[in-house]
Each structure stands twice: as C-alpha cells, then as structure tokens.
Homo-oligomer: A and B are copies of this chain.
Amino acid sequence: MAIQKPTLPKGTRDFGPLQMARRNYIFDIIKDTFKLFGYQQLETPSMENLSTLTGKYGDEGDQLLFKILNSGDYLKDVAPSDIEAGAAATLAKVSEKGLRYDLTVPFARYVVMNRNEITYPFKRFQIQPVWRADRPQRGRYREFYQCDADVVGTDSLVCELEILLMIKRVFASLGLKDYAIKLNNRKILTGLAEVIGAAGREGELCVAIDKLDKIGWAKVQEELQQRSFKQEAIGKLSPIIDLLGSNREKLDFLESFLKDSEIGLKGIVELREVLELLNQYGESEDFVDFDVVLARGLSYYTGAIFEVKVNHVSIGSVSGGGRYDNLTGVFGLEGVSGVGFSFGVDRIYDVLEELNLFPTEQLEGTQVLITYFEEEGRNYGLQVLNKLRTAGIASELYPDVVKIKKQFTYADKKQIPFVMVLGSDEINAKQVSLKNLISGQQESMDLSDAIKMIQGQ
C-alpha cells in the first residue's frame, strides 16, 4: 500500500485526553442540571432522510446539509444528460439521506413518530453532534455539538422559569459569574410594531434594531428609513431605544407604551408572570435582564426569547432559546407548543479558557502511578494495584521494567498527582513509599494510610 500522510477533513477536530476531560467537565454539569430539573435524554440517528431535513432551514440551510451518497451503484438512475441538468437537479437520484443539521428537526420528527407513546409535558434533552458544510473559520466547525433542552405539550410559564434557573445553575457550577440572561417576549415586539404604526413588520424592525450595539441608533434609523419605515414610526421608537432602569421600571413604561396593543400587553403579562414565578421560587431576578430589543428566531418564536452573553469576553452568545407554538407543523402535526433552549458548548469551552476558569487540578484520570525497579517490585505492585482499585482509586502500574526516571516522566506528563515507589525496603516492610508530585513530599507508610491520603481523608 502506498504510504500517505493522513490529515483531518477541513473544519473537523480530534479531541485528545485534556480536551475531552474539559469537554466532559462542561457536559457533565449541563447533564446533571437537565436531570435535576426532570429532563430526559433522547438520541436520534446521525442520518435523517433528506425529505425530513430539506426545506426546514431555508435555502442556505439546504445548501449546508451534508448529503450521503446512496450505497451501491449510486449512479444507476443517473443518465449522462443529468450531468448537464446540474448538481441540484441530480441530487435526488444520488442521495436520499443527510447528516443531522440541528437537534430541533430530529426532535420534531421524533415527537410526530412517537406522539401516542410520549408522556406530556415531554421534557427532553439531547446532546449530540451536528454537521454543517459551512466555510470553516476560527470558532466555526463543520462538526460541533449542540446541547438542547425543550419541553413540549404545555404553555405553562413555569417552563420559562426553569430555563432561567437551569442557565443560572450551569453558569454557577462553571464558575461563570459575570453574565446576563437577556429576556424578551415576541409578543412585545409584535406590539411595538403595532403601536408605531407598522403592524406585522416586527421582523424587519428587529433586523435593524438588532444592529444597535454595533452601529448605533443613528445608523439604525437610517436603515429603518431605507426599509421605508415612516419617520413618525421611527420617532416613536426613540424612548424604547433609550429605555433604562430595572426590569419592573421597563415593564411599567412599556405597559403604558403598548396600551393600545392587545398582544403587546399579553407579552408584558407573560414577562411579569415569569419574574413573579422567579420570586415565588425564592430567587432574585438580578441575573435576568429584560431587553426589549432582543430579537432572535422571529420566524418561529411566539413568546419568551432568551439569550445569554458572558461579559468582557470576545465571544457572542453562549446560550439562547425561546417559546414556539408549532414545533411539528412541517410534519403535519399541528398544535405542539413548547419552549426550549440550547448551550453552545464550543463557545463555553472558549470562554472558560479565555477567563482561565477550568479547574487547575486534573479533571479526570489516574490518581496514582505505581513505580518499581525490578520484577519483584512489579509483582508486589500488582497486589498494591488490586487494593487501590478495589478502593475505587484510578491507578496504574507502569507496565515495563524501565528506569525509575522514565516512570516519573510518564506520571508527570499524564499529570498524575501521586507516585508510589516500590523498592526492596518497601517490599520487605510490606509498605509503600508515596510521593505527592504537587507538594514534592514523600514518605513510607502502610498501604491503608496511603489510600486515605490519596482519597484526601
């Protein structure tokens, strides 16, 4: 066979031991939180039929789907003339499956296919990779994990409360303190468009307002003019743009501002209710920031909208979500409403790295390496190893009889905190010599004492 130097496909990554330990640290905190709140795990196949995926993510999304070549003679239905018809026209003849593009469409498909077996309200979480044939760049990969939780089959705002609480718990567990959960409600945006005399145009309105942080109010006004919003309408928006104060102050102002919009007032009621539930739960609302210009997912969100940003880092939002009233309509099942959100694990990883928040101690891995000088030491070491593992201590015996320095280098590189040295003194006294590689301290002792020391008792 010809020798080749292997490479990775563009936009994909290996995760070695250190990265895996850090990723598992994040995943475990998220999973524990989801489970503490009663969410149940779902996994769907990596492949879906193209008929399930296509048309769900817009034209651009369809382009970015990874398609799988049909097995066997994939050209059997293709005529030479199809080549001239082009790639798009020929696609259905060579591919019928694609890779998962997100976790929402597979979840919707699962709900439709299992609608009679599911226990509602159905609280599910799903942590799996997705694939997008995007142009790779810094922080953007072709394979990355999504981490979603949704509850469907209830309109209760207790679900919105729980999303706020789950985000808070995950961030607290990760040591992330300086962040804000921005909260808005689609109905308020709809109401805003109504009261400024641009009913039904909240989408356009939000696209422009979304740029406020980047380009400022003056430029946003220009853009609204270009989108043929009337000057009077734009003028009415000014007090909204400058809105300051506590959540309650903002809500009071908007309640009066939206007094002529039924739907807008409904949004205010919902938002107040979420804050009231937070209060009943015994939580302060300090970590929640009502942001009337927060607009995302306008094509599907119908109620609450969430977005989480960590302050003082270069990275965009690390979590977001919202309430929808029609998860499964595309598959012919109407009326499945719910609310969900997602953690961006790759971004959270980068944030923790940037802020130096990963724990400094070894996250997972061997606690003790047993080292020795000759075969007699190895045999004694095997007995020690058995006892360490029976005590639940992750431990290794260096497998080869080599110089002790080499064995210590191995411990060092693997960041193993303790090394046991088994020389003839230890073997004769039936003891072990335990060295703490962090403090540098070393002493001989009975194995039972060493076990206590390693377990930090």
Contacts and interface: CB of A to CB of B under 8 A. Distances in A.
Interface of A: 1, 3-9, 12-17, 20-21, 24, 35-38, 40-49, 51-52, 55, 63-64, 66-69, 71-76, 78-84, 86-87, 90-91, 94-97, 99, 109-110, 112-114, 117, 119, 121, 123-124, 129, 131, 133, 142-143, 151, 154-156, 158-159, 161, 277, 280-283, 330-332, 364-366, 378-379, 382-383, 385-386, 389, 392-397, 399-400, 410, 413-414
The interface centre, meaning the residue of A47, A121, A332 with most chain B CB atoms within 10 A of its CB, is: A47
Contact of A119 (B46, B385, B389, B410): B410
Nearest to A7: B49
29 contacts: A1-B55, A4-B332, A5-B112, A5-B331, A6-B331, A7-B113, A8-B45, A12-B46, A12-B47, A13-B45, A14-B114, A15-B43, A17-B40, A20-B43, A35-B365, A37-B389, A38-B365, A41-B364, A45-B143, A47-B66, A47-B143, A69-B94, A73-B86, A83-B83, A119-B414, A156-B399, A159-B399, A280-B383, A282-B382
B69 A79 contact: no
A424 to B, nearest CB: 17
Nearest to A44: B14
Contact of A17 (B13, B20, B42, B277): B42
Nearest to A364: B35
A290 to B, nearest CB: 20
Contacts of A48: 8-9
A333 to B, nearest CB: 9
Contacts of A133: 71-72
A67 B68 contact: yes
Majority SS at the chain A contact face? mixed
A162 to B, nearest CB: 8
Given A80-B84, A382-B281, A399-B156, A113 B37 contact: no
A200 to B, nearest CB: 21
B282 A386 contact: yes
Given A17-B42, A366-B38, A400 B154 contact: yes
B87 A124 contact: no
Contacts of A99: 46, 68
